Structure 1
Amino acid sequence: MQSRIAANAHALRRWLAKAEETLGNHSDRLNAINIFPVADGDTGTNLYLTVRAASAAAAAHEGADAGAVMAAAARAAMEQARGNSGTLFSVFLAAFAEPLAGQQRLSGPLLAASLHRGSIRCWSALSDPMPGTMLSVLEASARGAATAESAQNGDDSNHALALTLDAAVDSAREAVVLTESQLGPLTAAHVVDAGGVGLLLVLDCLRSAILGTELEEALLDSLSGYDVQDPHLAATLPADTGVEVMCTISLTPLAAAGLRMQLDELGDSVIMSAVSEQADDTGGYPWRVHVHVPESELALDLIRTAGDPSNVSITALNAATADAHGIP
């Protein structure tokens, strides 16, 4: 098995390309069980489009520096993220890239560090983080990777990487199963979390790309609500009213904290994360902002008071809102 392992920048590009393809194949089923935090049936689509942006950036980035490839992918994902799930994934990818800076290949210790960094960053990016979501799956995956890696006593061999990858994916799968019992709406609907399943697929793609193996189809067996014959639950539930507003804005950490507090009071599903750790001449950092609000201008007025937003996107949370406001 070790002779087939490739953990360099090319393998990471292959990971994102494989994740793009896999999420494209599974987007309909992920959409069907997307009922939390809003039953808008688009988690699969949002993850697919976000990963597609990351994959394109990784493919266009030349060079053998694994960290640089992942950083380029993360920036593109952050700027083109769609929805809660896509935004959270882009935060994960940006944090995942950080321990890889200047590295030529992924190893067991680096994988454990990257997953741990991703978990912490994602939990902190949300104003109201909830267990039973993608967050729990990522946290479990990071914990499983850390346990496996520590048992290898710092071994950075391909064999140790394989063991760490297996532990990360297996732990993620266990966490996905648990999501059904962790969130009331999922328990009532008898489904697992759509974002959690999407992350599990992405992690399995990472293992497949690095180890040169096929995707593990058995990972999806017996996941509540995920069989092809299961109903499209999202289509049967009332969608939330309002809109999703996303943008990029340069703010100091203090100003960002202030804007987050204001958005928390105005709406929900607030996600804020720095796009990079490089400050501009004024001490500001680029932040990606995501929020659900009744009216887009309510959020945009607050954001414009704080700074000059760019890459603004407004998406209706249901078809009626889209028609009423002329939102595509």
Structure 2
Amino acid sequence: MTDENLSAATRLSPRLTTDGQGFKRLFRAALAWLQHHQTAINVLNVYPVPDGDTGTNMVLTMQSAWAEIEDSPERNVGQVTHQMAHGALMGARGNSGVILSQIWRGFARSLDDKDDYCAQDLAAACREASATAYKGVVKPVEGTILTVARAVADSATRQAEETEDLVHMLEHMVFAAHEAVVLTPSLLPVLREAGVVDAGGQGLFIILEGMLRYMRGEPVAEDARLIAAVDLVTTELQPGEAGYGYDVQFLIVGQELDVDTIRQKIIEMGECPLVVGDPTTAKVHVHVPDPGVPISYGASLGSLRDVVVEDMQAQYQDFIVERDLPLSPSPQSPQDIGVVVVVLGDGLARVFQSLGVSSIVRGGQTMNPSTQALLEAIENLSAERVILLPNNSNVIMAAEQAGALSSKPVAVIPSRSIPQGIAALLAINYQGDFKTNVATMTSAMEEVETGEVTTATRSATINGVQVADGQIIGLHNDELKVTGATVEEVVQALLREMNAAQHEIITLYYGEAVSGSDASALADLLRQDWPDQEVEVVTGGQSHYHYILSVE
């Protein structure tokens, strides 16, 4: 990124045309202004759960687009926007990022043969941008970024008939975007009830406002820095891959404990490290091949309490045996079917590995993988046909985009949760027909109910349920259903909401902040409440969510 001083830009009014370099400056200003408002956009989340990442996803998508044109000396605006749109396409993250990439795709396509653009060209590009975005969504919903994009296109079309001044035109486009954002709650009841405007629409407004501020010579947060795109590791797995190790947890009670130093030492010992505490008490959690190493270290610092050591290898063998599955399923069949899954959490990744997946893309809630990351995972497999499980509603669009870009036949099974993804994989026949597998897995996915227990990130009223910031909440199939003072209380209430008594198996996937002993104690409590159901406990290791529940 250049050190160009955006805030010192000369006012460009009147401006009749813009070439490739001019568009680059506008785009850089838009990115800087979006970065400046990233956090504010993130909090515009309908549900008070820790997944408000619309601002982050839009910034990462824009950063990927900027990386394609940052060093380009090209003056042809068609060439520059084409490069920009390609970067946005490959770097798109989350539903908001994918739709934004489609907006830029349509915008660039309209300018494909242009050296520069004038008012009429800009209006045509905005219309194509809106149309492309609408076409890219299977079921377009009004009151979203789509509505704002269309309002901008309508304004651009009207203004192009009245003026040739691009600054004047952009002023009206920004005003139209703002009006459309303000009206989103009136079009989408869930926004109105939550008391927020649409986050994606707000992001698009901010992008346009950043461009306008640059053209007016106003500051656009030039010191905004590129946020680091989380390195979502893609792991290609081998059949029978070992190394589950031990889940070790304990409390250190001592004097003048240096939590930062302890955390660094634990990080060096193994995977999924978690160290929190104060100078007198520190909670430690880590996955290691030798449990004696962290325990000995902890004992050297003070007295240990609540020591828990779990053999994860045995745990996952039990998980497989209970479902009558082979311990080392082979993902390579005569049809050569490969499976790519998106998952976050060391324990959850091991569950999917045990079910024979070919590649794991680390990501999910709050960390949506890009289209490019998913595409690379697909292309790097030796399999001729690929099944992709996004396991998160905010990853589905990027998954579908990656599938469309792949050189291989790819079927995206639209799993919206981890339990749905697991249910789908339990139904796979690696020696079976590809299309039959897709149909069977999709059907199996719908048979499982998903529950999620987390902590509310703000106060809100959703679906008639009042939530206070910091309260424990439970979601059933992505809908807020219950609240409570304790995690245990909410888990019980949520399972009743999920009609657990009508199912056979209840599974608790516990998160990184939950101890194995606490999860086991909760399972014992649930067995008393649901004596006719089988209750299973599995290490999930997921962040933000205390428990992910499934009933089947």
- TM-score by length of structure 1 reads 0.68
2:140 corresponds to: 129
Distance 1:137 1:318, change over 3 A: farther
2:57 corresponds to: 46
1:79 aligns with 2:90: yes
Find 1:102's aligned residue among 97, 109, 113.
Answer: 113
Distance 1:64 1:171, change over 3 A: same
1:294 corresponds to: 417
SS in 2 for 1:102: coil
The CA distance in 1 between the partners of 2:192 and 2:201, in whole Å, is: 15
The answer to whether the 8 Å contact 2:13/2:216 transfers is: no
Shift of the alpha carbon at 1:128? 2.1
SS in 1 for 2:74: coil
Find 1:31's aligned residue among 27, 38, 42.
Answer: 42
Find 1:271's aligned residue among 379, 397, 401.
Answer: 397
Distance 1:18 1:137, change over 3 A: same
Measured against aligned partners, the alpha-carbon deviations of 1:135-172 in whole angstroms (never above 9, x if no partner) come to: 111111111111111345xxxx4x2x233222211111
Shift of the alpha carbon at 1:63? 1.2
1:120 aligns with 2:131: yes
The CA distance in 2 between the partners of 1:291 and 1:187, in whole Å, is: 28
1:13 aligns with 2:17: no
1:65 maps to a residue whose letter is N
- TM-score by length of structure 2 reads 0.42
Distance 1:30 1:274, change over 3 A: closer
The answer to whether the 8 Å contact 2:38/2:56 transfers is: yes
1:293 maps to a residue whose letter is R
2:203 maps to a residue whose letter is G
The answer to whether the 8 Å contact 2:29/2:220 transfers is: no
The CA distance in 2 between the partners of 1:139 and 1:180, in whole Å, is: 16
Shift of the alpha carbon at 1:34? 2.2
The CA distance in 2 between the partners of 1:286 and 1:95, in whole Å, is: 25
Find 2:175's aligned residue among 157, 170, 177.
Answer: 170
Bigger share in helix: 1
The answer to whether the 8 Å contact 1:4/1:212 transfers is: no
Q: Identity of paired residues, percent?
A: 29
The answer to whether the 8 Å contact 1:274/1:285 transfers is: no
SS in 2 for 1:2: coil
1:67 aligns with 2:72: no
Shift of the alpha carbon at 1:202? 0.6
Shift of the alpha carbon at 1:49? 1.0
The CA distance in 2 between the partners of 1:285 and 1:102, in whole Å, is: 31
Shift of the alpha carbon at 1:70? 1.1
The CA distance in 2 between the partners of 1:137 and 1:126, in whole Å, is: 15
The answer to whether the 8 Å contact 2:16/2:119 transfers is: no
2:218 corresponds to: 214
Bigger share in strand: 2
The CA distance in 1 between the partners of 2:201 and 2:112, in whole Å, is: 27
1:192 corresponds to: 197
Shift of the alpha carbon at 1:187? 0.6
1:165 maps to a residue whose letter is L
Shift of the alpha carbon at 1:38? 8.1
Gap regions ≥5 residues in structure 1: 218-241, 250-258, 307-316
Measured against aligned partners, the alpha-carbon deviations of 1:100-154 in whole angstroms (never above 9, x if no partner) come to: 11312221111111111111111111122211111111111111111111345xx
The CA distance in 2 between the partners of 1:169 and 1:193, in whole Å, is: 16
1:221 corresponds to: none
The CA distance in 2 between the partners of 1:65 and 1:298, in whole Å, is: 51
SS in 2 for 1:168: helix
Shift of the alpha carbon at 1:205? 2.1
The CA distance in 2 between the partners of 1:212 and 1:292, in whole Å, is: 46
Shift of the alpha carbon at 1:291? 5.5
Distance 1:39 1:102, change over 3 A: same
The CA distance in 1 between the partners of 2:132 and 2:69, in whole Å, is: 21
Find 1:88's aligned residue among 96, 99, 102.
Answer: 99
The answer to whether the 8 Å contact 2:33/2:220 transfers is: no
Measured against aligned partners, the alpha-carbon deviations of 1:27-75 in whole angstroms (never above 9, x if no partner) come to: 1111111227987110111111111111121113331111111111111
Larger radius of gyration, structure 1 or 2?
A: 2
The CA distance in 2 between the partners of 1:78 and 1:144, in whole Å, is: 26
2:265 corresponds to: none
SS in 2 for 1:293: coil
1:234 corresponds to: none
Please provide the CA RMSD for this pair: 4.2
Distance 1:207 1:178, change over 3 A: same
SS in 1 for 2:70: helix
Distance 1:93 1:29, change over 3 A: same
The CA distance in 2 between the partners of 1:110 and 1:321, in whole Å, is: 54
Distance 1:84 1:162, change over 3 A: same
1:146 aligns with 2:269: no
Bigger RCO (CA 8 Å, 6+ sep): 1
1:201 aligns with 2:212: no
1:89 maps to a residue whose letter is L
The answer to whether the 8 Å contact 2:28/2:66 transfers is: yes
1:175 maps to a residue whose letter is A
Distance 1:59 1:291, change over 3 A: farther
Aligned residues: 270
SS in 1 for 2:51: coil
Gap regions ≥5 residues in structure 2: 1-11, 222-363, 377-385, 429-433, 436-451, 455-508, 513-538, 544-552
The answer to whether the 8 Å contact 1:30/1:198 transfers is: yes
